[in-house]
Amino acid sequence: AAVTKALKRVVKTVLSIEQSEGQGARVRRSIGTYNLRNLDPFLMLDEFKVGGRAGFPDHPHRGFETVTYMLDGTFEHEDFEGHRGKIGPGDLQWMTAGKGIVHAEMPLGSTVATGLQLWVNLPSSAKMMPPRYQELPKEQVPDAKSDDGKVTVKVIAGSSYGVEAKVHTVTPIYYLDISMQPNATFDQEIPAGYTAFAYTLAGNAAFGSQPSEPHCTLVFSKEGDHIQATTAEGSARFVIIAGEPIGERIVQHGPFVMNTELEIRQAIMDYQLGRNGFEKAPVWESEIGK
Ligand SMILES: Nc1ccc(F)c(C(=O)c2c[nH]c3ncc(Cl)cc23)c1F
Ligand SMILES: [Fe+3]
């Protein structure tokens, strides 16, 4: 018999307002605010806006991944192993911090840079893995389209309309950047049981019967196996982020995310004393964060 697809329903909507973060940076925090916790495996989603001398100077990470997706402007990044790079509009940096990274993330020159940074938790088995980068210029973030051509999807992770992302994820993750023309319908399979949400960037797409406005997080039910969005007379842009829950205990202390308080104390000591993956932390200073 034909398997009827069940729509995931919207269970919560939250509007994000700007707050200060880093050094002079402004972010609209979606996941990670009081109303949007416990969305395992996702720890934080920031829509950031950074100009001039502002940015995110030297700081550490352990136990999770940071996914930086540029919307406009150009960011420079530099880490304590001397790894440096630039990411511009549409470019993606999927950084698996694992055992430990210390880096700075700053706008190039005095441009205003905007984008999204998503923090994805790692399973305990991978939290102390060697750090790794997957840096994809926009040309390597594949485009998918609906049959009528009214919906374009940049497939950052997972798959959409039969197009697979290039990025490898430790646990199953979907990360889709969807642009819809007026009078369009977007339809996406997301397995039942997955955590799933939309974060709106522009326009007023409706998710099922739920209307939306920009800078809104719409959390979907775990029940159901696909998401649908429609546009009326206006166009719309939003991301869909979904993933299989890891189901382990989360103990977070800022940019350290582990499973026990002891592991957090060890992360803080390793970072301060330069041990266990943070050897260069005590002596390193970035060029770009000065
Ligand atoms: N206070 C604090 C503590 C630890 C951090 F890792 C950060 C941090 O680096 C960021 C937090 N939101 C972000 N959005 C985009 C980018 Cl590129 C970086 C960040 C930070 F700001
Ligand atoms: Fe960082």
Give the Å distance between the CA of 227 and the centre of ligand 1. Answer: 30
Contact 31, 232 (CB under 8 A): no
Q: What is the mean pLDDT of residues 31-37?
A: 96
Mean pLDDT value across the chain: 97
Phi, psi of 35 (to 5 degrees): -80, -10
- Going by their DSSP bridges, the two strands 226-230 and 185-189 should be labelled as antiparallel
Assign 57 to helix, strand or coil: strand
For atom 6 of ligand 1, the residue with the nearest CA is: 255
Q: Whose CA is nearest to atom 20 of ligand 1?
A: 22
CA of 21 to the centre of ligand 1 (A): 7
Q: Is the pLDDT of residue 29 over 70?
A: yes
Which range has the worst mean pLDDT, 49-53, 100-104, 123-127, 274-278?
49-53
Q: What is the 8-class DSSP label of residue 89?
A: T
Quote the pLDDT of residue 3.
65
Q: Apex CA 60: angle with CA 54 and CA 66, to 5°?
A: 80
Q: Determine the pLDDT at residue 199.
A: 99
Structure confidence by residue, pLDDT tens digits, 257-271: 999 999 999 999 999
Alpha helices in the chain (DSSP H): 261-273
Ligand 1 atom having least distance to the Cα of 68? 17
Asked whether 243 and 203 are in contact (CB, 8 A), the reply is no
Q: Which atom of ligand 1 is nearest to the CA of 115?
A: 15
User: What does the pLDDT look like over 109-135, one tens digit per residue?
Assistant: 878 999 999 999 999 999 999 999 999
Could you please report the per-residue DSSP string of 123-144?
-GGGTTSPPEEEEE-GGGS-EE
Ligand nearest to the CA of 57: 1
Distance 188 CA to ligand 1 centre (A): 30
What are the angstrom distances between the C-alpha of 198 and each of 19, 214, 217, 229, 236?
Answer: 20, 11, 6, 10, 12
What CA–CA distance (Å, rounded) separates 268 from 74? 31
